[in-house]
Structure formats: structure tokens, C-alpha cells
């Protein structure tokens, strides 16, 4: 049985034929669309390494069946920068050393982008830790991650004031 779905991934329409309805969004991204920035950590919804935005909301791509996402808009780490211009969250992670080995970083950044877009980051480090609690970091770079999210949220607030 083959199934045909259409997704918009990082602004580009993708028509995909699935041979198996059990293919996850994570495997589709990594193995079919060559978007390997989204990482596979646990493959069971426990680490957040596979976080992407689907229709603007954060999800664990390892838990989502691709077939259930026909028509969805998917944003991965590869689609975040505008050419050479990094997203402010990416810039903040670099400035604040919000990573060590980098394995969890794409998921952390996508989760932070989602948190800020949801209006849930605020200026309270504890609230950010709670909002990012689904994203584990084996290197323990949490202090820098929280600082980066605070910086990016501050910048987003300033841009909103100026606009």
C-alpha cells in the first residue's frame, strides 16, 4: 500500500509517497528529505532532540506519523536562518554558549523558537526551564540555554515595541 502526502517543509512544497504508514516525520525528514539537522536521540518522545514546528507548534518529530501530517507546514532548524542571517535565537545560543557537543542544539533552538512564538518565554528563568523541560541536554548546558532564551525574548519584546 502506498500513500501520498504533501507537506510544506521550510517553505518548500514536498510531495511524498510513503510505502509504509508507520514512517515518522523524523525519519521522513532525515532519510527521505536529507534534512539531518533534526536529531534522533531516544526515538520515543523523551529527549526533545527531534523538536520541529508543525503549523507553528512544537512537536517531537519521532512521535508524529508523517501520514497524519498531510497538508502541514513544517519548520526545521534548516529553515530558521534567512540566508546568511541567523535567527535571533540561533545568535543568542552562540553568544551565550548554549551548547557543548551540539547534539541537542537543533531541538533546543526549535523549542525556544516555539516557546517565544507561543508567548510563553517571559522573563523568568524558572518559567523558561519549565517551558523547555522536554528538551534534555546530556552536556548540561542548561544555564547558557536559559540565558539565550531570555536574550532572544528580550530582543523580540524590543522589536515588538519598535514596530
| Residue in 58, 74, 57, 66 with CA at minimum distance from that of residue 19 | 66
Q: Is 137 in the site for ligand FES (CB under 6 A)?
A: yes
* Under rule CB under 6 A, residue 25 binds ligand FES: no
When the beta carbons of 45 and 125 are compared against ligand FES, the nearer one is: 45
Residues 87-106 touching ligand FES, rule: CB under 6 A, are 99-105
Alpha helices in the chain (DSSP H): 25-27, 88-95, 105-117, 125-131, 142-162
* Distance in Å, CB of 11 to ligand FES, minimum: 23
Q: Could you tell me the CA-to-CA distances from 157 to 108, 150, 160 in Å, in that order? A: 20, 11, 5
Residue 135 interacts with ligand FES (CB under 6 A): yes or no: no
Residue of 20, 95, 124, 138 interacting with ligand FES (CB under 6 A): 138
Out of 41, 79, 88, 131, the residue judged to bind ligand FES by CB under 6 A: 41
DSSP state of 9: E
CA angle centred on 105, ends 95 and 99, rounded to 5°: 45
* Residue ranges binding ligand FES (CB under 6 A): 40-43, 45-50, 60, 62, 99-105, 137-139, 141
Amino acid at each position: 500500500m502506498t500513500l501520498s502526502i504533501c507537506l510544506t517543509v521550510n517553505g518548500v512544497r514536498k510531495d511524498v509517497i510513503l510505502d509504509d504508514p508507520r514512517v515518522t516525520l523524523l525519519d521522513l525528514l532525515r532519510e527521505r528529505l536529507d534534512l539531518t539537522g533534526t536529531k534522533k536521540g531516544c526515538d520515543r518522545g523523551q529527549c526533545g532532540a527531534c523538536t520541529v514546528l508543525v503549523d507553528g507548534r512544537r512537536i517531537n518529530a519521532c512521535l508524529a506519523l508523517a501520514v497524519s501530517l498531510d497538508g502541514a507546514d513544517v519548520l526545521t532548524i534548516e529553515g530558521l536562518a534567512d540566508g546568511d542571517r541567523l535567527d535571533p535565537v540561533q545568535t543568542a545560543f552562540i553568544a551565550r554558549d548554549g551548547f557543548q557537543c551540539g547534539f541537542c542544539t537543533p531541538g533546543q533552538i526549535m523549542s525556544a523558537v516555539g516557546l517565544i512564538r507561543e508567548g510563553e518565554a517571559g522573563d523568568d528563568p524558572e518559567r523558561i526551564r519549565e517551558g523547555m523541560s522536554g528538551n534534555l541536554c546530556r552536556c548540561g548546558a542548561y544555564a547558557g540555554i536559559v540565558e539565550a532564551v531570555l536574550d532572544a525574548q528580550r530582543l523580540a519584546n524590543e522589536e515588538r515595541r519598535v514596530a
